[in-house]
Structure 1
């Protein structure tokens, strides 16, 4: 049983690497078997299809971040408390799965409609439309400035995600090792919140 678990973990890690670099459409079961250091017959013994493997990798990768965001976005709390909580959980979620942004970019470029369908099917998918309605309501009530809810949502996402997408370049230019860059990402939670609040606060 322990050996089975180890083999399954080996396959999942190999599949993760292949799917990140090649996406679902470009990945082959033989590629995954080669990466895992096993033969194709053994791979099929554990996982009969590429789609099943992809589903496991997708749910593991996306589920962590979606679960975090869903818990926050679906809660009833004041908007000015919810926004920092979204930012904190978004950055924490990606730090736990740093390969996620490139994985998402690959799938969006190759199969955008299927990716969105898979995303929306996640159990804790956040109610983004309600969040945008909350932004509009807060603007009308004078809690924040009246701003575009779409622009606010996009600003939060881009300010949180881009440093992870551009991480190799940023680390190279700024000469930061992994520990230092992770510290920068921890600090970024506060920075992003301050940037957003500077824009929306009355």
Structure 2
């Protein structure tokens, strides 16, 4: 019973911290506010996490650990570049529709503390581009796709997938759409983004 209770409390803390960090960012958040959101006292929060930085890293790792292995698996499987683009986009957008706070969360905090992402890079499951680079180079050489560096292609994929979640309020205002319509647009982008990128690199017969 004790173990279950501890796990439940920690889950409450991580959920509360995610919500507070999402609203206020790392610098604007306070441990007392996170404790209040979790429904516990501050002393118990400090028992689990001695500092706000430790709590932030736990929230980040918890979310990133769900996504990174999926993306790494796609980048390093034996599928074609076209299939990689489609699978990467579909997996990323599905995940972000469930965790829409994450891109803004990551971009803000990684720029604030770039050393943190460098530490994450050494963890098992962090996306590795080595195979992707070789595959892109081989497909360029064989004439399957146009000449493009793998890094540029990967940035294009990431940019087109990440931007709508970073600029959600702006997009909704410009397009004059509600939350439900925005979610449908993001669902449609699984095809739109993939087709756009593939058509931009495909060699026409």
Tell me which interval the TM-score lies in, with the shorter structure as reference length.
0.7 to 0.9
CA distance in 1 between counterparts of 2:122 and 2:198 reads 32
Scaled by the length of structure 1, what TM-score is found?
Answer: 0.87
The total of aligned residue pairs comes to 200
Scaled by the length of structure 2, what TM-score is found?
Answer: 0.86
Give the CA deviation at 1:4.
4.8
Give the CA deviation at 1:28.
4.1
CA distance in 2 between counterparts of 1:125 and 1:5 reads 25
- 5+ long unaligned stretches in structure 2: none
Matches within 5 A, 1:1-202: 1=1, 4-20=6-22, 21-23=24-26, 27-118=29-120, 120-202=121-203
Q: Which deviations, in whole Å up to 9, do the C-alpha atoms of 1:76-101 show, x marking residues without a partner?
A: 12222212111111111212211101
Q: Secondary structure at the match of 1:124?
A: coil
CA distance in 2 between counterparts of 1:50 and 1:43 reads 10
- 5+ long unaligned stretches in structure 1: none
Q: Secondary structure at the match of 2:199?
A: helix
Give the CA deviation at 1:42.
1.9
Q: Is the 8 A contact 1:138 1:144 kept in 2?
A: yes
Q: Is the 8 A contact 1:68 1:93 kept in 2?
A: no
Q: Could you say what the CA RMSD is over the residues aligned between the two structures, in angstroms?
A: 2.1
